[in-house]
C-alpha cells in the first residue's frame, strides 16, 4: 500500500470488522515510554468501499482515500499534540469531564450506535455524579473504589457495576493513548458469576401462550385487541424463531420471506437499526410458525409496515423494556415469576436450549440464534442443569449407526 510517494508498512492499517471501521497506527507519534503506537479511526467500511454518491470505489480510490485521511489525521494529531503540550505548561490541570466529553464526541459517537453511545455517556455522567470532577492526571485507584462504592449504593447489580467499570476502563485506555495519563490505569472490576439463563419448562410456555390467547378473547376494544395480537406475534416468533427482543421490534414485514421460508435479520436503514453482531442472518421458519404467519398476514392491513405495527404504519413499541414489561405481566399473571428469569429473553433461551437438548448441532443452533461464535452458545446454554445426563450416558448403550465411522 502506498501513501503519497512513500511505501507504508501494512501493519499501520487495521480493518476492524466488529466496529466496521478502518483504523491506523501512527508510529510517527509513538512515545519512548509507551509500548504501542497510538491508533485512531480513519473511516467506516462504508466510506472506504463507497463514494458519497453510492458508487463503489476502485482499489486505487481506496488507497488514495486512506492516504488522504492518514495524512490529515497525522497533521491534526501533531497540531493537537503541540496544543496540549502548551496547555499543560500553562494549566497542568485538564478536568476529567472535559476529556470525557472529547472522548465521547470523537471516539464513541461517530463509530457506535446511538444506544451504545448513550450507555457510555451514562457511565461518564455517573462517574462525575459519584466521584466529582478532578484533574485527569490525578486519577488513581481511590477514585475507582469510590466509583464502585457509589454504584453499589445506588442499588446496581454486580453485572451492571461491572459494565460501567468496563466502559470506564475503555475511556482510561484511550486517555493514556492520548497522553492524558502518565501511566496505564487498570481497574479491579467487581466479580460476576454467570449462572446462565433461567429457562421455562414446556408446560410453563404453554401456560403463558394460553394466557395471552385468553386475553385476546376478552379484549374490550379494537385498540386492546390490536395490542394483544402483537403480543401473540412477539410470543410465537420468539418461541419458534428464537429472535431477540430488539430484532422483533425493529423488523419490517418485508423481512419475513414466507415463500423462501426464512426471516431475514438485517440492517433497517429507515430507523438506523443494525443487528447485534452487525451481520445479516437468515432464520428458517418452522412449520408451526409458518402456518401462523400465513393466517396472520391475510388479516393485516395494507398500511402496516412493521411486524409489530400499531395499525398506522408505526412501530408499536419504542424500546425493548416496553415489550419486556408486557410479558412480565403475563408471566406474573401465570404465577411463573422466578428470580433471574427474564420474560421474553427467557423464552428465547428456552428455545435455544430445546434445540440443543433435542440433538441440534451446536454450530447450527449458534447461527440460528445469531451468536457471534459458538463459544457464546457453549458458555451460556450447554449447561448440566439443562440436560439429562443419564439419557446422554445411555447413548453409549444404543449409539446411532453412524456414530462409528472408523474401522478396526
The DSSP annotation for 107-137 comes to IIGGGS-HHHHHHHHHHHHHHHHHT---BGG
Q: How confident is the model at residue 284 (pLDDT cuts 50, 70, 90)?
A: very high
The confidence score (pLDDT) of residue 91 equals: 46
Higher pLDDT, 252 or 84: 252
* Model confidence at 348: pLDDT above 80: yes
- 302-306, 307-311, 380-384: least confidently modelled range: 380-384
Higher pLDDT, 403 or 288: 288
Domain assignment of residue 191, yes or no: no
Q: How confident is the model at residue 27 (pLDDT cuts 50, 70, 90)?
A: confident
244 and 367 in a common domain:
yes
Q: How confident is the model at residue 327 (pLDDT cuts 50, 70, 90)?
A: very high
Mean pLDDT, rounded, for 335-358: 85
The confidence score (pLDDT) of residue 395 equals: 52
Q: How confident is the model at residue 216 (pLDDT cuts 50, 70, 90)?
A: very high
Distance between CA atoms of residues 38 and 30, nearest Å: 6
372 and 253 in a common domain:
yes
The confidence score (pLDDT) of residue 396 equals: 57
The confidence score (pLDDT) of residue 319 equals: 85
Domain assignment of residue 272, yes or no: yes
The confidence score (pLDDT) of residue 377 equals: 83
% the chain with pLDDT above 90: 51
Q: How confident is the model at residue 210 (pLDDT cuts 50, 70, 90)?
A: very high
Q: What radius of gyration, in Å, describes the C-alpha atoms of the chain?
A: 26
* Model confidence at 8: pLDDT above 70: no
The confidence score (pLDDT) of residue 404 equals: 46
Mean pLDDT, rounded, for 34-55: 88
Q: Where are the alpha helices (DSSP H) in 178-201?
A: none
pLDDT in tens, 140-182: 999 999 999 999 999 998 889 999 999 999 999 999 888 888 8
Give the chain's domain count: 3
* Model confidence at 369: pLDDT above 70: yes
Higher pLDDT, 8 or 326: 326
Task: Report the Cα 95 to chain-centroid distance in Å.
Answer: 31
The confidence score (pLDDT) of residue 1 equals: 41
The confidence score (pLDDT) of residue 179 equals: 81
Beta-carbon count within 10 A of 328 CB: 16
Could you tell me the CATH number of the domain that includes residue 265?
1.10.443.10
Domain assignment of residue 208, yes or no: no
Mean pLDDT, rounded, for 6-12: 58
368 and 340 in a common domain:
yes
106 and 83 in a common domain:
no
Mean pLDDT, rounded, for 97-113: 89
* Model confidence at 245: pLDDT above 90: yes
Domain that holds residue 378: 219-393
Domain assignment of residue 268, yes or no: yes
Assign 170 to helix, strand or coil.
helix
Distance between CA atoms of residues 113 and 110, nearest Å: 8
pLDDT in tens, 371-405: 988 888 887 776 655 555 555 555 555 555 544 44
173 and 230 in a common domain:
no
Give the residue from 28, 43, 134 showing the smallest Cα distance to 81.
28
383 and 238 in a common domain:
yes
Average pLDDT over all residues of the chain: 85
246 and 133 in a common domain:
no
What's the first-to-final CA gap in the chain, in angstroms?
A: 54
Q: How confident is the model at residue 212 (pLDDT cuts 50, 70, 90)?
A: very high
152 and 86 in a common domain:
no
Domain assignment of residue 70, yes or no: yes
Distance between CA atoms of residues 235 and 237, nearest Å: 6
Amino acid at each position: 500500500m502506498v501513501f503519497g510517494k512513500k511505501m507504508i508498512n501494512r501493519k499501520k492499517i487495521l480493518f476492524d470488522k466488529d466496529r466496521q471501521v478502518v483504523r491506523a497506527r501512527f508510529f510517527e507519534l509513538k512515545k519512548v515510554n509507551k509500548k504501542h503506537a497510538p491508533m485512531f479511526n480513519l473511516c467506516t467500511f462504508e466510506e472506504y468501499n463507497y463514494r458519497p454518491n453510492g458508487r463503489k470505489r476502485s482499489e486505487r480510490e481506496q488507497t488514495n482515500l486512506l492516504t488522504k485521511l492518514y495524512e490529515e489525521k497525522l497533521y491534526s494529531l501533531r497540531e493537537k499534540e503541540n496544543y496540549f503540550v502548551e496547555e499543560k505548561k500553562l494549566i497542568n490541570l485538564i478536568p476529567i469531564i472535559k476529556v470525557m466529553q472529547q472522548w465521547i464526541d470523537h471516539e464513541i459517537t461517530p463509530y457506535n450506535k446511538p444506544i451504545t453511545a448513550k450507555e457510555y455517556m451514562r457511565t461518564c455522567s455517573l462517574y462525575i455524579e459519584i466521584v466529582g470532577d478532578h484533574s485527569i492526571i490525578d486519577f488513581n485507584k481511590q477514585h475507582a473504589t469510590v466509583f464502585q462504592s457509589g454504584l453499589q449504593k445506588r442499588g446496581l447489580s454486580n453485572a451492571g457495576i461491572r459494565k460501567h467499570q468496563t466502559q470506564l476502563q475503555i475511556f482510561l485506555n484511550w486517555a493514556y493513548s492520548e497522553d492524558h495519563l502518565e501511566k496505564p490505569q487498570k481497574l479491579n472490576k467487581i466479580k460476576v458469576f454467570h449462572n446462565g439463563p433461567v429457562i421455562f419448562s414446556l408446560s410453563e410456555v404453554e401456560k403463558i401462550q394460553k394466557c395471552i390467547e385468553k386475553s385476546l378473547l376478552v379484549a374490550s376494544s379494537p385498540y386492546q385487541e390490536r395490542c394483544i395480537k402483537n403480543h401473540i406475534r412477539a410470543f410465537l416468533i420468539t418461541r419458534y424463531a428464537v429472535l431477540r427482543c430488539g430484532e422483533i421490534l425493529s423488523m419490517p414485514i418485508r423481512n419475513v420471506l414466507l415463500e423462501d421460508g426464512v426471516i431475514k435479520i438485517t440492517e433497517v436503514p429507515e430507523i438506523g437499526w443494525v443487528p447485534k453482531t452487525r451481520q445479516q442472518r437468515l432464520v428458517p421458519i418452522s412449520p408451526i410458525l409458518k402456518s401462523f404467519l400465513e393466517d396472520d398476514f391475510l388479516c393485516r392491513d395494507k398500511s402496516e409496515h412493521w411486524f409489530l405495527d400499531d395499525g398506522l404504519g408505526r412501530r408499536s413499541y419504542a424500546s425493548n423494556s416496553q415489550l419486556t414489561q408486557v410479558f412480565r405481566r403475563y408471566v406474573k399473571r401465570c404465577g411463573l415469576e422466578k428470580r433471574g428469569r427474564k420474560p421474553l429473553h427467557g423464552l428465547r433461551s428456552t428455545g435455544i436450549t430445546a434445540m440443543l437438548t433435542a440433538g441440534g448441532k451446536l454450530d447450527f443452533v449458534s447461527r440460528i440464534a445469531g451468536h457471534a461464535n459458538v463459544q457464546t452458545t457453549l458458555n451460556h446454554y450447554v449447561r448440566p442443569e439443562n440436560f439429562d445426563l443419564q439419557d446422554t450416558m445411555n447413548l453409549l448403550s444404543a449409539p446411532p449407526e453412524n456414530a462409528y465411522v472408523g474401522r478396526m
